[in-house]
Structure 1
Amino acid sequence: MSRTIFCTFLKKEAIGQDFQIYPGDIGRRIYDDISQEAWSLWLNKQTMLINEKKLSMIHHEDRALLEREMIQFLFEGKDVHVSGYIPPKD
């Protein structure tokens, strides 16, 4: 059964996560306050960051960068910017 939360990213009621998908206190905040839809938006941004910046999850610095970007995107309202990336025209 899905649970409904108030998503702080989307600023509306939405379907929440089924389980805590990220460790620690940040993971708890995501579970409590971030919807599946918002998480999906983050995953798209994360993929773009990993590909464009050639990040490796083996390196602690790269994981730390992704975590900072995730917090800024999901909780501080800052969009992810990758230098040189031009979004496709609609």
Structure 2
Amino acid sequence: MARTVQCVYLGKEAEGLDFQLYPGELGKRIFDTISKEAWGEWQKKQTMLINEKKLNMMNMDHRKLLEEQMQLFLFEGKDVQIEGYVPPKPE
């Protein structure tokens, strides 16, 4: 049986992550309160941030920015904003 969590991002009970994907206390918080679906949404935004802002994961400042954005997205419901980015219009 799949593990479920009360997902703070989705605001409902949903399938939880299989294991802790992020280190430390923040990783435990994510594991305990973020669903697979919400984590998948974050991964899309993370990829967009890394690509559009040309982030280098070897740079600690870039990693810190990404972590801050992750917390805002997952726990405060704030969407990732990238200056100049215009999402494609649905056809």
| TM band (smaller chain) | over 0.9
Any residues of structure 2 matched to 1:1-90 within 5 Å, and which?
1-90=1-90
Unmatched segments (≥5 aa) in structure 2: none
Partner SS, residue 63 of structure 1: helix
The amino acid of 2:54's aligned partner reads: K
The amino acid of 2:77's aligned partner reads: G
TM-score by length of 1: 0.97
Unmatched segments (≥5 aa) in structure 1: none
Superposed CA offset, 1:42-63 (max 9, x none):
0000000000000000100000
TM-score by length of 2: 0.96
Aligned length: 90
For 1:62 and 1:47, locate their aligned partners in 2 and report how far apart those are by CA, in whole Å: 13
Percent sequence identity over aligned pairs: 61
- Name segments (4+ residues, structure 1) moved above 4 Å: none
**CA displacement at 1:88 relative to structure 2:** 1.1
RMSD of aligned residue pairs (Cα, Å): 0.7
